[in-house]
Structure 1
C-alpha cells in the first residue's frame, strides 16, 4: 500500500476513534451526535464496505485467470520450472498451516467484543459451514451464474483456474481472450485503486462507530494482533528461511542472512515485491552465486505467486476479525480458509493493497462482518512491510534451493567468505 495513502488511513483511523470516543464519553444523549452524526457515519461506512464487496467477485475471477495465463510458459522450463513452482506452492502451504495453527493457539481478537458495533445495514449473514467432504465436492459449480450471484469464492476460483487453463490450451488462438482478460484486469486494478483512495474516509466513518462503543479490550486486542503477525513474519524471515537454506544447500544461516540484509532493508522501506525484484536478482546472482538462468525465471514468478508472507498475514487477520466479532473459526472453516488462501495465491499477487483486498475476500467467503476490514486496513502498513520482506526473502530461499538441486550455484565457500571480504 502506498505510504501516503497509509498515512491518510492512519489519520482517518485516529480521527474517527477520537471523535467516536468523544461522542461516547462527552456527548452521549445529544441528538445531533447520537442520531445524525453516527447515522451519517453508518451510511458512509456502509457505502465504503459495499464498494469493497462490489469488487470482490470480478477482481478475484479476472486476476486469477490472468495469473494462470501468465504462467503458461512454465512447461517450457521443464524440470527447473516444475521445481520452482512446486517449492513456491509448498512454501505457501507451510506458511498457511503454520499461521492457522498459531492463530488457533493464540486466538487474536478474543475478548475484543466488536459484535455490537456491526451496522445492521451492512451486516453479512453467517451461513452454516458444510462438512469438509461436501466442501470439496461443491467446489465444482453446477450453475456458474449462481456461483457468481452468491459470491461462492471457492467455486469462482475453480472456474477462474479452469478458464485460464482453457485459454492456455488454445495456444496462439487464445490471443484475443488473453488481451481481453488483461484489459479487464487493468480496469479492475484501476477500480481497486480508486476504491482504496477512498479508504481514509471509509475508515474514518467506520472508526467513528467503533469509537462510540470502544473499550480497552479492543485496543489491546488490535495491538496483540499486530504483534502476533509481526512476530511470526520475523520468525519466517530470520529463522525459517535461513534454516531451510542451510539444511538443503549447505549455506550457513548466518551467511544467508548477511547476503539478504540489503534485500530485507529495501523491502521494509518500499513494501513492494515488484520494486525489490532488482535487489533480489542481485542478492541471488552476486551474493549467493545463483546462476542468472535460475534467478531470471524464479524471481519474477515469485513476485507474482509466492504469497507466503501475505498468507500468514491474511490468515491471522481473518482469525482476528472472526474472534473480535464473536464468530470464531471452527474446524471446517479452517479447511475452507486454508484452501481459499492457497487458491488465491496462484494469481492474486499483483493486486494493489493485496493483503487488505484478500482479507475482504476471505471475510466474504466465511460470512464474517466486513467492518473488520477497517481495522485491518488501518494497521496494514506495519504488517505489509514485514509481509513483503517475508515474500522476497522466500523468493531468495526457494531459488537458492532450486539452484543447488540443479547444480546452478557457485562455490559456497565464496558465499561464506563474502561478508568477511566486504567488511575487510
Structure 2
C-alpha cells in the first residue's frame, strides 16, 4: 500500500512540476511577447509611485493584459526598485519586458511637455512643445522672446505641469557674460551669480535644467564639460602648432568660432591663423576688435570704425602681435578641434564670398581681387535695397 501511495505521490509531484514549469514558461512568454497596445501612449509615473500603480495605469491604457505578470516580471528581473519618475513614451505593441526597461532605465523623459530656452548671440528664445506619442514628433505650443515678449498663457500652464521638463541650449560663439545674464533671467532657475565666468570656459551645448536649480550649478556643469572637451582635443592635437598651452588653443578656437559659421570651413579658417602665427604676421581679425570694445557684454550692432581698428586694446589683433590674452567667446567642440587640427594649407588671407562662406588666398594680389569682388556684391545688395 505504501508503495502505491508513494507512486501516486510521485506522479502528483511530477504533474505539479510540469504545471509549474508550464506556468512559468507561459508567464515568461506573456512577459516577453508583443503587447496589445495599438497606438503609442505617454505614461506618467509620478514621484513616489510603484510598479503596482504603473501596472494599473498600463491596464487602463490597454498596454498590458495582466498586471500580475507585469509585477512578477519586474520583481523577477530585479527592477521593481529601479522605477523612475517621469513621462515615458510606450511604443505600440511594446512587451511588458520592454515597458519595465523603459520606466527603469533612467535618463531624460521621452515624452510629455518640454520647455527649451535657446540662448543665442542676439537674443534668448523660449520654445514650448509637446510630444505627440502617436507620431513621436514634437508639436509646438508656443514660442517667444524671453526678454521682449510677454509670457504666453501656454507657458504659464506648462510651468505648472508636473511632467514638464526643461532644457537650455547654448549657441556656439555666445560670450560668458551673455550666458550668465540669460540664465539669470530665466524664471525656472535661481539667480545666484554676480560675476561673469572666464571667457571661453563654458561649453555651448544642451543641458537639462531642474526647476529651482541655482544658475551657478548650471554654469559649473558647463565648465566641467568645456574642460573635458578641451583636454581631449589637446591630447589629440596635431604636431608643430604655434600653441603652447590648452588656454592658447581655446583663444584661437574662439576666433575661429566667430569668423565662420560654416562647418566645412572651420579647419581652413584655423589654418589661416596658424599660418599667420607661424610667419609672425598679425592675425588682423575683426571679431577680436569688437570684443575689445564690448568686452563680451552685448552685441556691437554696427560696423567697425577705422579709429576702432587702430585703437590699442589687448584684443585688437590689428595692433597686437600674436593671440589676444583671452578667448573672445565660448567656442564649441568643432571649433576647438579645428584649432588643434587645422587643414594643411598655404592660406594667409580670407574674405566673405557672398554665399555665407569665404574666399581664401595665399597672396595679397589674389586676396585683393577677392576683396574687390566682395565689395561689388555688397554694392549690388545695397542697390537692391
TM value normalised by structure 2: 0.22
TM value normalised by structure 1: 0.20
RCO higher in structure (CA 8 A, sep ≥6): 1
Question: Greater strand share, 1 or 2?
Answer: 2
Question: Greater helix share, 1 or 2?
Answer: 1
